Amino acid sequence: MTVPTRTALVTGASAGIGATFARTLAAEGLDLVLVARRKDRLDELAQELTDAHGVRCEVLAADLSDPGAPRAIMAFVEDRGLVVDVLVNNAGMSGSTAFAETPWDSLAAELQVMVTAVTELTHLVVPGMKQRRWGRIVNLSSLAAFAPPGESLLYTGIKSYVLDMSQALDMELKPFGVHVTALCPGFTHSEFHQTMGSAEAASALPSVLWQEPEAVVRAGWASVNAGKPVCVPGLVNKVLSHGMRPVPFRLQYVLGRTFNPFKH
């Protein structure tokens, strides 16, 4: 019996961790739906992956700060006769100015991209995954989720939400064969800091704090397949995460699943 090819949807796929996820999944034979704002980058990546691995790559230029983007993405997927077996919620951004001085439109876009769109895309793909009794969801959180709040920044709070939401959904969905993992990288070589205007400050950090996107993706993909709800890639990052939070995340997960007063 022929096993149908699985399909992965990757947001923020034009560079960095997102593009590396696309390359990793294509090498394993998964078809891909690549989503980002820069269509030229997506087209180049799709051609590279099709030539190298013979997989099907569909490309959609979409801005996840648009509230209609998640449903438009799923309509695009359905119109092409595909289903989402693997979801990588990678698209991200971060403000670099004081909260009070930042226009609301910019703050709303940050929340839309990294909170609402992540949650809505997950909500849209979960029913099909449950029905097929198999699915993998990787939500990009951050080492910042374990850190104290940064002055003026929404980023630590947003990434803490992604961390907690991912664990909560993994508790609910694991009995249906659906694994959800919060991937929490530290400083990773990508275009993120250039885009956010923080490249100069980031470059002054010790090299021991940095990872390549390939190492981050390998750890995240292995973790979600192994059913681990949280992945902090790299020894240094693991030490930092445990030092910043007094209760280890594995114990938090057990306590949250065991002592939830609202659980049906």
116-137 pLDDT tens trace: 999 999 999 999 999 999 999 9
pLDDT at residue 3 above 50? Answer: yes
pLDDT band at 191 (very low <50, low <70, confident <90, very high): low
Copy the structure tokens of residue 140.
């990009």
Closest CA to 221 of 24, 34, 30: 24
Longest dimension (CA), the chain: 60
Q: Is the pTM of this model over 0.85?
A: yes
What is the C-alpha to C-alpha distance for residues 217 and 122, in angstroms, rounded to an integer? 19
Query: In the 8-state DSSP scheme, what is residue 140?
Result: E
Distant-in-sequence, close-in-space partners of 5: CB < 8 Å, separation ≥ 6: 29, 30, 31, 55, 56
Tokens standing for residue 190:
């990508």
pLDDT tens for 95-112 read: 778 899 999 999 999 999
Report which of 24, 167, 161, 14 is spatially closest to residue 86, judged by C-alpha positions.
24
Q: Is 161 noted as a catalytic residue in this protein? A: no
- Find out whether 218 and 24 touch, Cβ atoms under 8 Å: yes
Please report which confidence band the pLDDT of residue 7 belongs to, taking 50, 70 and 90 as the band edges.
very high
- The pLDDT confidence band at residue 193, using thresholds 50, 70 and 90, is very low
pLDDT range class, residue 242, cuts 50, 70, 90: confident
130 classed as catalytic: no
Specify the pLDDT at position 105: 96
Between 190 and 35, whose confidence is greater?
A: 35
Question: In the structure encoding, which two tokens stand for residue 11, read together?
Answer: 């947001």
pLDDT of residue 262: 56
Q: Above pLDDT 70, what percent of the chain?
A: 88
Q: Which of 130, 155, 174, 263 is catalytic?
A: 155
Tell me what the mean pLDDT of segment 207-216 comes to: 82
Which carries the bigger pLDDT value, residue 245 or residue 19? Answer: 19
Residue of 39, 130, 159, 263 marked catalytic: 159
In degrees, to the nearest 5, what angle opens at C-alpha 33 toward C-alphas 30 and 34?
A: 115
State the sign of the Cα–Cα–Cα–Cα dihedral 236, 242, 248, 249. negative
pLDDT for position 148 = 80
Cα(13)–Cα(20) distance, integer angstroms: 8
Sorted by where each starts, the structural domains of the chain and their CATH numbers stand as 7-94+105-258 (3.40.50.720)
The tokens for 16 are 């960095």
CA angle 183, 37, 135 (to 5 degrees): 40
Burial of residue 13 (number of CB atoms within 10 Å: 0-12, 13-18, 19+): buried
Q: Which residue's entry shows tokens 């919060």?
A: 182
